[in-house]
């Protein structure tokens, strides 16, 4: 009988606490040449570097987040070349709370995008 009461208490507690945490996650998948994440609030990133010539932004939501657009290729962070997603992640890990300047190849030209302190880290390590 005690076991049934305990089980009922655990189920009731879980039923009331799970909705409070529903949606508080970010799905992340990353490899040396790929980073994909999406959150319940509609933010998303899909980036890849299959040819080792920079990091192509295949999808970013909301559109224009951090100044990036679909089709952009990130080629440098603070003038340090980044050929693979892992290069950008390593750079972000070393500069977690620093402002950063990304060099992005867009169309036929390079564009400089200034990110405020911590934004690059938030881009590669999103939180719910």
Going from the N-terminus, what domains does the chain have, and what CATH number goes with each? 25-124 (2.30.42.60)
Peptide bond into 45 cis (omega under 30): no
CA angle 43, 64, 95 (to 5 degrees): 75
Total-model pTM:
0.78
Distance CA 25, CA 57 (A): 22
Taking only Cα atoms into account, the Rg of the chain, rounded to an integer number of angstroms, comes to 20
Each residue's pLDDT tens digit, 56-102:
999 999 988 889 999 999 999 999 999 999 999 999 999 989 999 99
Distances from the Cα of 50 to the Cαs of 12, 78, 98, in angstroms? 48, 22, 27
Each residue's pLDDT tens digit, 12-54:
555 444 444 445 456 677 788 999 988 888 889 999 999 999 9
Distance CA 30, CA 36 (A): 6
């Amino acid at each position: 009988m005690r076991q049934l009461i305990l089980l009922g208490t655990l189920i009731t507690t879980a039923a009331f606490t799970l909705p409070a945490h529903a949606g508080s996650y970010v799905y992340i998948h990353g490899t040396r040449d790929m980073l994909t994440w999406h959150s319940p609030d509609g933010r998303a990133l899909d980036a890849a570097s299959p040819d080792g010539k920079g990091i192509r932004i295949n999808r970013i939501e909301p559109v224009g987040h951090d100044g990036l657009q679909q089709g952009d290729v990130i080629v440098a962070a603070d003038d340090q070349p980044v050929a693979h997603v892992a290069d950008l992640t390593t750079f972000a890990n070393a500069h977690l709370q620093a402002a950063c300047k990304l060099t992005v190849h867009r169309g036929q030209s390079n564009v400089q995008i200034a990110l405020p302190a911590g934004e690059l880290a938030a881009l590669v390590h999103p939180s719910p």
